[in-house]
Amino acid sequence: MTVELFREDAYLRQAEATITTVGDDWFAVDQTVFYPMGGGQPGDMGTARLADGTVVQIVDTHKSDDGIRHMVESPLEPGYVGQTVHLEIDWERRHRLMRMHTCMHLLCAVIEGGVTGGSIRDGSARLDFDLPDTLLDKEEITSKINGLVSEDARVEPRWISEEELDASPELVRTMSVQPPRGQGRVRVLEIADIDVQPCGGTHVARTGEIGPVRVKKIEKKGKHNRRVNVVFAD
């Protein structure tokens, strides 16, 4: 399995690793700074500099049973297995995703209701809420989110036991997806005095780092779903 360096330090941009497996359009390493697609957050992109100096573009990152797969446009030669590789993420893109992912947690704090779906993109994101009879106001939600951004609250990931999660089921806002279990502990994201919920994604250290945002549109998706779309305001 791959050691996930981004779990402990979301600001780590590069790392040395050893190639463990080579596939048709991917390779795996013993440790990585590349976040794999999951929890609505896209997989990282970036570069890999091989031992012979060759630079390979990593176009996506996926999680699989054999570890984290770094997707490439052209296959690597099997001879690279066991060699050192220098990994570097596209930091500007990752940072935008981190800002928007943390913003979605603020959106959850502003709107009370179960989350039925969501997606994060480079520069925008959305969440679907189970709100059958609720009218949502774009300007009001925008103002509340930006108010929480301006508080510059501390954002910290931490671990709780599965027993602690069972004792506080209200922490889980997603209605159709449950946090992964089986390891005895669950990673949660705590935004000081604002929000706490399970999350395995990458996030900024303080809400002020998100910057100004705005609700672009609110859509009715079926009888119960209200989709809130958010973009950066700058």
Instruction: Give residue-wise pLDDT tens across range 178-218.
Output: 787 778 899 999 999 999 999 999 999 999 999 999 999 99
Mean pLDDT across the stretch 129-142?
91
| Range(s) of the chain covered by CATH 3.30.980.10 | 94-232
| Range(s) of the chain covered by CATH 2.40.30.130 | 3-89
Architecture per CATH, 94-232: 2-Layer Sandwich (3.30)
* Cβ neighbourhood burial of 79 (10 Å; 0-12, 13-18, 19+): exposed
Instruction: Give residue-wise pLDDT tens across range 99-134.
Output: 999 999 999 999 989 999 999 999 999 999 999 777
Q: Parallel, antiparallel, or unpaired for β 31-32 and 84-89?
A: unpaired
Beta strands in the chain (DSSP E): 3-4, 14-22, 26-29, 31-32, 46-49, 55-64, 67-72, 84-89, 115-121, 124-130, 155-161, 185-191, 195-198, 213-221, 225-232
Mean of pLDDT over the chain:
95
Q: Would you say domain 3-89 falls under CATH 1.10.390.10?
A: no
The pTM of this model reads: 0.95
DSSP 42-109: PPP-EEEE-TTS-EEEEEEEEEETTEEEEEESSPPPGGGTTSEEEEEE-HHHHHHHHHHHHHHHHHHH
